[in-house]
Amino acid sequence: MEYPELKRAVREQAVRFKARTVLIEDKSSGTALIQELIREGLHGVTRYEPKMEKKMRLHSVTSTIENGFVYLPVEADWLDEYRHELATFPNGKFDDQCDSTSQALDWVKTGSDWDRFSQLLEFQADRLGSGTSDEQVEARVTRVDMLNGRWRF
């Protein structure tokens, strides 16, 4: 994806999901993207500075996944592709979604407060529909587990 298309996609996703936080890796084109989006007034742009490589970063958040804090919708147009990428990481053709998943979980895990975590849970509930009870949310999402380095769905 070319830079102008990337920038447009970030803006569209931020609006579509009413994002309060837009986490962007502060490396290469991400640095310029952060600067431009902030200058243009996109609220919630947050720098993410990775402290380890992708494989180790995903490994470091495995316990968050294993302990049931990560949920996926039962149905979504992107779900099969996402599961495939996670299941084949690090040997698959693509790893961008694995990378962004591990970055988001690392950001939440290393945050100074748990408000970030509650924001993610609130986001998931919002995507499932307003006024949904906890029981309905649980019935409509699927838990993702990781066992011996393999994803199980």
Q: What is the mean pLDDT of residues 17-46?
A: 91
Q: How far apart are CA 88 and CA 70, in angstroms?
A: 18
Q: How far apart are CA 99 and CA 85, in angstroms?
A: 10
Q: Is residue 78's pLDDT more than 50?
A: yes
Q: How far apart are CA 69 and CA 132, in angstroms?
A: 18
Question: Considering only 1-10, 44-53, 88-97, 138-147, which range has the smallest mean pLDDT?
Answer: 138-147
Q: How far apart are CA 71 and CA 96, in angstroms?
A: 19
Q: Is residue 51's pLDDT more than 90?
A: no
pTM summary value: 0.67
The whole-number pLDDT of residue 87 equals 85
Residue-level length of the chain: 153
